[in-house]
């Protein structure tokens, strides 16, 4: 059992080093040897655990996505713990998002963007990100649904439109944060932007149906 745990820990360590390399130098900077050197292990160690570049990329993608999912689950747990406070999930998403400006979240975000680009030509990687986006979309829709006016059932079509707009805005904002071009934005300011996007879509939706 100890040997297996040691192997799992080493794989995780190698994946974390690969994430740093992807963030630092992009996809072309990721090689087995550079991961070895980054971790400070014997040459060939990364190849022992991940025999091909494809295997390494799959493992790194799974590592990034596992960390993202852990963040999503933390957001949902915070929402449930807060009871009826409608802003809690949106606030938590904003707080998580602004952490992208600092390490280690920044490197993870930069690596995620690199991997998502590679996934365009790799169906296996793409399927992992599809699952991640499904989870994120569900959380976005939940956040939006909790902000709908009380007293009437939420308009499902409107909620989907608002969540799509919010997620699209947030994706662009995360890209800017990860690349150091977003300026200094607090979680409170970001939450305000997200609320504005949600409200804007609601206003446009109301005009369309009248």
Does position 27 have pLDDT exceeding 50, yes or no?
yes
Q: For residues 1 and 35, what is the distance between their CA atoms, to the nearest angstrom? A: 26
Q: Where exactly are the structural domains of the chain?
A: 63-208
Does position 4 have pLDDT exceeding 60, yes or no?
no
pLDDT at 152: 74
Q: Which residues of 13-28 are buried (b: 16+ CB within 10 A; e: fewer)?
A: bbbbbbbbbbbeeeee
> Cβ contacts of residue 189 below 8 Å, gap of 6+?
none
Does position 179 have pLDDT exceeding 60, yes or no?
yes
pLDDT at 2: 46
Q: For residues 78 and 7, what is the distance between their CA atoms, to the nearest angstrom? A: 33
pLDDT in tens, 164-178: 999 999 999 999 999
What number is the average pLDDT over the span 112-127? 93
Q: Nearest CA to 166 among 144, 146, 183?
A: 144
Does position 50 have pLDDT exceeding 50, yes or no?
yes
Q: For residues 144 and 194, what is the distance between their CA atoms, to the nearest angstrom? A: 10
pLDDT at 137: 92
What's CA 129's distance to the chain center, in Å?
10
pLDDT at 1: 40
Cβ(20)–Cβ(112) below 8 Å: no
Residue 120: CB atoms within 10 A of its CB come to 10
Does position 74 have pLDDT exceeding 90, yes or no?
no
pLDDT in tens, 126-167: 999 998 999 889 988 988 988 888 777 888 999 999 999 999
pLDDT at 121: 93
């Amino acid at each position: 059992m100890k040997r297996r745990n040691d192997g799992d820990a080493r794989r995780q360590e190698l994946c974390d080093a690969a994430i740093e390399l992807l963030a630092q130098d992009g996809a072309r900077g990721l090689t087995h040897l550079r991961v070895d050197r980054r971790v400070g292990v014997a040459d060939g160690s990364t190849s022992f655990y991940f025999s091909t570049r494809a295997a390494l990329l799959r493992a790194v993608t799974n590592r990034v996505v596992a960390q993202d999912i852990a963040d999503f689950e933390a957001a949902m747990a915070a929402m449930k713990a807060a009871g009826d406070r409608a802003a809690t999930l949106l606030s938590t998403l904003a707080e998580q998002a602004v952490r992208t400006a600092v390490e280690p979240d920044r490197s993870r975000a930069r690596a995620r963007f690199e991997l998502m680009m590679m996934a365009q030509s790799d169906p296996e990687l793409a399927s992992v990100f599809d699952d991640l986006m499904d989870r994120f979309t569900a959380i976005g829709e939940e956040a939006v649904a909790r902000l709908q006016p009380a007293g009437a059932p939420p308009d499902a079509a409107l909620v989907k439109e608002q969540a799509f707009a919010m997620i699209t805005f947030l994706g662009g904002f995360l890209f800017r944060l990860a690349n150091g071009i977003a300026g200094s934005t607090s979680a409170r300011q970001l939450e305000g932007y997200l609320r504005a996007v949600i409200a804007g879509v609601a206003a446009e939706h109301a005009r369309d149906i009248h």
